[in-house]
């Protein structure tokens, strides 16, 4: 665990140096901030969501750099604790994806909402755009939990007037062929589906950031 944390610190420092020294002034610098779904759990290098999304956008002529700040097992509490140093100066926008592990652990949705609220507020205070990515509570948590958890993302998107992509695993969650053997995480093909589905929302998000940079 200490090795993974140390490696992540190094990756953040490298990303910060890249943002500060090699990116063109016109490049949109994004950070994919989340848990194992963002980190690319058990996937080879280059097959994670941020990496494949960057490739897809570049193929469409979008000048973008997407850093991977996903940490497997992270909750919104962990995300809040690291949001300031995990998102380097020079970042234009964050794709914020957290909450799945909160739901799996039965963390009170009110706590999840409070943590996400604080993260969005801190990013906006820094002038960093946010694309909020929603999650759904697993069915085994029951209807009452879902009724409290699922609306969190829409509420926060409306409160802070940030764009919302409703469900990160759209198109993947019900298709076993798109998931790893654990039945929870997307495989490389699943990531392709996720990228294809979210790409229009990210393109629109980048458009709003680009207009602010001019």
What secondary structure, in 3-state letters, does 56-113 show? HHHHCCCCEEEEEEECCCCCHHHHHHHHHHHCCCCCCEEEEECCHHHHHCCCCHHHHH
Distance CA(68)–CA(55), nearest Å, equals: 13
* Portion of the chain with pLDDT greater than 70, in percent: 86
Residue 9 has pLDDT above 90, yes or no: no
**Residues near 34 by Cβ (< 8 Å), separated by ≥ 6?**
69, 70, 71, 74, 79, 95, 96, 97, 98, 133
Specify whether the CB–CB gap between 165 and 159 falls below 8 A. Answer: no
pLDDT in tens, 126-171: 999 999 999 999 999 999 999 999 999 999 999 999 999 999 999 9
The DSSP element (H or E) to which 132 belongs, if any, is strand 129-133
pLDDT by residue (tens digit) across 34-87? 999 999 999 999 999 999 999 999 999 999 999 999 999 999 999 999 999 999
Q: In the numeric block, which tokens belong to residue 135?
A: 């999650």
What is residue 210's predicted lDDT score, i.e. its pLDDT? 75
Residues taking part in catalysis? 36, 182, 185
Quickly state the pLDDT bin for 212 (edges 50, 70, 90). Answer: low
Whether the CB-CB separation of 85 and 21 falls below 8 Å is answered with no
List the domains of the chain with CATH numbers.
2-213 (3.40.50.1110)
Q: Tell me the residue length of the chain.
A: 214
């Amino acid at each position: 665990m200490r090795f993974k944390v140390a490696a992540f610190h190094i990756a953040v420092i490298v990303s910060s140096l890249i943002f500060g020294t090699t990116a063109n002034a016109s490049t949109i610098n994004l950070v994919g901030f989340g848990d194992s779904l963002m980190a690319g759990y058990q996937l080879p290098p280059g097959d994670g969501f941020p990496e494949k999304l960057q490739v897809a956008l570049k193929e469409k002529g979008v000048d973008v750099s997407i850093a991977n700040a996903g940490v497997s097992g992270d909750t919104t509490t962990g995300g809040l604790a690291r949001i300031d140093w995990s998102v380097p100066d020079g970042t234009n926008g964050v794709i914020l994806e957290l909450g799945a592990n909160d739901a799996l652990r039965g963390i009170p949705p009110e706590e999840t909402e409070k943590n996400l609220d604080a993260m969005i507020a801190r990013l906006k205070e820094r002038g960093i755009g946010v694309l909020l990515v929603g999650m759904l509570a697993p069915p085994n948590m029951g209807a009452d939990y879902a009724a409290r958890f699922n609306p969190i993302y829409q509420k926060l998107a409306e409160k802070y007037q940030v764009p919302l992509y409703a469900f990160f695993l759209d198109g993947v969650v019900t298709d076993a062929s798109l998931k790893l053997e654990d039945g929870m995480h997307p495989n490389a093909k699943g990531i392709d589906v996720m990228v294809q589905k979210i790409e229009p929302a990210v393109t629109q998000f980048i458009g709003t950031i680009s207009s602010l940079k001019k």
